[in-house]
Structure 1
Amino acid sequence: MKVKVIMNPVAGRGRALKAKPQILKALLEYDVELHLEETKGINHATEIARQAVRAGFDLIVVAGGDGTINQVVNGMGEERIPLGVIGCGTGNDFARALGMPADPVAAVRQIMGGVTRQIDLCRVNQSYFVSSVGVGFDGEVAFHTNQGFRWIRGKAAYLCSVFKTLFSYRPRRIKLTIDGLVMEFNSLLVAVTNSPTYGGGLKINPEARINDGLFDVCAVQYMSKPEILACLPLLFPGWHRSLKKVRMMKGRNITLESNESFYYQVDGEILTDKTLRFSLIPRALAVKGAQVEPAGGFDFAAEKPARVQEA
C-alpha cells in the first residue's frame, strides 16, 4: 500500500510536528510504502493532494487541523481514494465527528486497522468542505481567532474571539433558502454544518450526522450583547436550540444571500462574499478508520414540497 502523509507543521501550535516521529514510527509498523510531505504555505496541501491522486497513492493521511483537511479534500476532488485523519489542529471538529482519538499514535492505529466508511462531501460555491460553514458573527469570530488567538486552542480560543467580536459586530439582513423554504431576517449567525460541533467542540448542530445526506442549519436572529452573553453558555451542551430567536433545520440545497459582503468561515478558513450556494454529494468521501454509524435509509431521490415563509 502506498501511503501519502500530508502534515501541516504549524497546525495546533506545532502539534503535528512534535508528534512527527511517533506518527512515522506507528505507520512503519504496517506494510506500507510511506511518503511524508510537510506543507509550506497557504493551499500547499491542496497541490500535494492533487499530485498524490495523480501518482496513484492508495491512502492519503492528513496530520493537521480542519483547515488542512479542507485543503486536502479540495485537492482530491471527487476521487474515491480513502482519507485518513490525524487531528492536530486548534479545533479538530472533523476528527471528533469521525470518532478519531486525540492521541496521534492511537489515530494512526485506528486508521490502518479500521474499515473505510463513506461520508457526505459538501460544497459551498466552487469549494468543497467537510465540517462547517459559519456566516456573520461566527465568521468574524473565526477571523479574530486566526488573527489574534492562534496561540490558544479549542474552546478557549473561540471564547476569547467571541468577546472581541461582541464590540464590533454589525447585523446584516440576509435571505436564507433551504429546499424551497425562504426566510429573511436580521442575522446574528447562520451555521451550515455536516458535523455536530465547531469552534473546538461547541455543539452548534448536535443532531448533525456526517453521512445522512443532509446539511444541518442553525439560523439565529440578531441579539443584543446581553442576550448573546446570556445564551453563550447554552452552546456547550447544545441547549440553544430551544431559544426563541434560534431556528434549527435540515436540508440538501441551501442558498444564503445578502446585499452586503459578510465574513464566513469554511472549516476555519476565512473568506468574504455576498452569496453562498450549498450542495451535497451523499456518501462521496471515503474515510479510513472513521467510527460512524451506517447511514439509515434516507431516500436521496425524494423531494420536499416547496414552502415560502418570511421571518
Structure 2
Amino acid sequence: MFIDIPTPEKILIIFNPISSVGNTRALAHRLGEFLVHHGKLVEVSESKKKMKAYMRGVSEISAYDLLVVVGGDGTVRKLLPLLSETKLPLYVVPGGNESLFAHSYGMSANTENLLKTLERSQCLEQFYGVISGSGIRGAKPFFIMASMGFDSLTVKRIGRRKGPINDFTYVWCGLSALASLHHPTVTITVDGQVVVDCQSGYIIVANSAAYARNLQLVPAANPSINELVMGFLPGARRYHELIKIWCMLQRKPAELPLQYVSGKSLSLTIHDLSYPMQVDGDYFRNRDIEAGATLEFEVSPKPIRVLIPPQR
C-alpha cells in the first residue's frame, strides 16, 4: 500500500565520492542546484565511511523531509538503520556500478522525474535484512542480498583495490575469482528447522529480487514481505558461473537448480575453509567468515520508507 506524505521541502543529498568513477559529487551538486531553483531547501553532504557515524546524527537528520542518496547499494546499506529509526523517506539516484536499489524502483538521475516524484509524494514501506552471529558486534543491515560464492570472491578482490571502481575492475577481479573458486560446506536452518545439513554449494540470502534480475536467481524475494529467501545450489561448479555469464549476456533466466527456502529467521553455519561473504556489493566486514562460525539472518523489526517514482 502506498503511503501519502507531505511534499518534501527540506532535502538532504548524500553522495559517495568514490562511486561511478568519482562523478557523484558533481551530480549531487547539480541536483541540489536544480531543487533550490524549484524552491526547495537543500544541503549536500559527502557520505560517511562507517554506518555508526550516521546514527550519531539522528536528531539532525530527522529535521529533513527527504534523503536523496547519490551512490550505489553499499551507500544505501549503511543508511538503513538510520532510515528505519527516523522514517525519513529515501530516494536514490544511481551512482554505483550496479545501483540495484535505484533501478529496481525505476529511480534515475533525471531531474524532471525527480521533481514529479516529489510532487506525487508517495512511499512504500520496505523491510530489509539484518545479519548477526559469531564475531559480529550488533546487527549488520542489507537490503538486496548476501551471498557466498563466485560473486563474493570477486567482491573480496575488488575490495583490495584503491580508488574508483569501473567495469574493467569487475572483469579482472572476476577472472581471478573464477580461477580460485571453491564453495564452503554449510548447514542451513530456517525458523529452527535444518534444511541443508553439511553440504557444499553456492548460497544467496535475498530480501529483493533485484540482484542479477535477468538471471532470476531469487525471483520470489520481495522487500514488501517480511520474509527472507535463501537459495542454495548444492555442488556448485565453475561451469555454473559460465552458464550465468552466458545467460546474462543473452538477458534470459539462468534456470540453475537452486533449492529455495524462506522465513523470518535463517541461520548459516560454516564447517570448513574460511570464506568471504558479499553484502549488497560490499565485502562483508573486510575479512572472511571463519570456519565454525554461525551467522543469523533476520528481517528488520522496522521498515524504511521509499519514495516511489510515478511510473511505477
Contact 1:47–1:75 (Cα < 8 Å) also in 2 = no
Do residues 3 (structure 1) and 6 (structure 2) align?
A: no
* Match in the other structure for 1:304: none
Q: Quick one: distance in 2 between partners of 1:86 and 1:70?
A: 14
SS in 1 for 2:181: coil
Do residues 269 (structure 1) and 277 (structure 2) align?
A: no
Do residues 135 (structure 1) and 120 (structure 2) align?
A: no
Q: Quick one: distance in 2 between partners of 1:49 and 1:238?
A: 41
Contact 1:73–1:128 (Cα < 8 Å) also in 2 = yes
**Structure-to-structure mapping, 1:73-88, within 5 angstroms:** 73-88=80-95
Deviation of 1:235 after TM superposition, in Å, equals 5.3
Q: Quick one: distance in 1 between partners of 2:107 and 2:42?
A: 21
Q: Quick one: distance in 2 between partners of 1:292 and 1:211?
A: 18
Assess, with a 3 A threshold, how the Cα gap between structure 1 residues 23 and 223 changes in structure 2: closer, same or farther.
same
Do residues 112 (structure 1) and 118 (structure 2) align?
A: yes
User: Structure 1: 5+ residue runs without aligned partners?
Assistant: 294-311
* Match in the other structure for 1:287: 306
Which residue type is aligned with residue 58 of structure 1? D
Q: Quick one: distance in 1 between partners of 2:98 and 2:296?
A: 25
Over the matched positions of the two proteins, sequence identity in percent amounts to: 20
SS in 1 for 2:298: strand
Q: Quick one: distance in 2 between partners of 1:251 and 1:144?
A: 31
With normalisation by structure 1, the TM-score equals 0.79
User: Structure 2: 5+ residue runs without aligned partners?
Assistant: 1-8, 133-138
* Match in the other structure for 1:308: none
Assess, with a 3 A threshold, how the Cα gap between structure 1 residues 171 and 281 changes in structure 2: closer, same or farther.
closer
* Match in the other structure for 2:27: 19
Q: Quick one: distance in 2 between partners of 1:146 and 1:26?
A: 34
Q: Quick one: distance in 1 between partners of 2:146 and 2:100?
A: 12
Q: Quick one: distance in 1 between partners of 2:307 and 2:244?
A: 37
Deviation of 1:142 after TM superposition, in Å, equals 1.7
Contact 1:60–1:81 (Cα < 8 Å) also in 2 = yes
Assess, with a 3 A threshold, how the Cα gap between structure 1 residues 168 and 205 changes in structure 2: closer, same or farther.
same
Deviation of 1:107 after TM superposition, in Å, equals 5.4
Q: Quick one: distance in 2 between partners of 1:4 and 1:178?
A: 39
* Match in the other structure for 1:47: 53
Assess, with a 3 A threshold, how the Cα gap between structure 1 residues 286 and 227 changes in structure 2: closer, same or farther.
closer
Contact 1:136–1:190 (Cα < 8 Å) also in 2 = yes
Contact 2:14–2:68 (Cα < 8 Å) also in 1 = yes
* Match in the other structure for 2:4: none
SS in 2 for 1:240: coil
Assess, with a 3 A threshold, how the Cα gap between structure 1 residues 289 and 11 changes in structure 2: closer, same or farther.
same
Assess, with a 3 A threshold, how the Cα gap between structure 1 residues 276 and 142 changes in structure 2: closer, same or farther.
same
SS in 2 for 1:170: coil
**Structure-to-structure mapping, 1:176-195, within 5 angstroms:** 176-179=188-191, 180-195=193-208
* Match in the other structure for 1:222: 235
Do residues 63 (structure 1) and 70 (structure 2) align?
A: yes
Assess, with a 3 A threshold, how the Cα gap between structure 1 residues 3 and 228 changes in structure 2: closer, same or farther.
closer
With normalisation by structure 2, the TM-score equals 0.79
Q: Quick one: distance in 1 between partners of 2:101 and 2:200?
A: 26
Q: Quick one: distance in 2 between partners of 1:254 and 1:235?
A: 29
SS in 2 for 1:84: strand
Q: Quick one: distance in 1 between partners of 2:112 and 2:229?
A: 30
Q: Quick one: distance in 1 between partners of 2:305 and 2:239?
A: 44
